[in-house]
Amino acid sequence: MAPLPKKKHSKSRTKRARAHFGFKAPQLSKCPSCTTLIKPHHACPKCGIYKGEYYVDTATFEAKKVNLATK
Ligand SMILES: [Zn+2]
């Protein structure tokens, strides 16, 4: 038989536990090329650059990898 709760939890006990479920704002940093705020470990939504290389063609949203050194 599965374990069952013996007594009903009070409203305050439930709410106290759910006080820790809230969302936190992500740690945003500035894109080095266009200074837009970007999420960590994500390509820049404006210019598509991640770690100095183009990964996203922002005009067509088609994944591209063009090295900046060859341009
Ligand atoms: Zn950018």
Ion ligand 1: residues, Cβ under 5 Å: 31, 33-34, 36, 44, 46-47
Task: Name the residue ranges covered by the structural domains of the chain.
Answer: 27-71
Whole-structure pTM value:
0.47
Tell how far the Cα of 24 is from the centroid of ligand 1, in angstroms: 23
Specify the pLDDT at position 19.
94
* Cβ contact 53:65 at 8 Å: yes
Specify the pLDDT at position 54.
79
Tell how far the Cα of 6 is from the centroid of ligand 1, in angstroms: 55
Cα–Cα distance, 54 to 69 (Å, whole number): 11
Specify the pLDDT at position 13.
96
Specify the pLDDT at position 58.
64
**Which residue in this structure is represented by tokens 């090295």?**
67
pLDDT by residue for the chain (71 residues), tens only, comes to 899 999 999 999 999 999 999 988 888 989 888 888 999 988 888 888 888 877 777 665 544 555 554 54
Cα–Cα distance, 37 to 18 (Å, whole number): 30
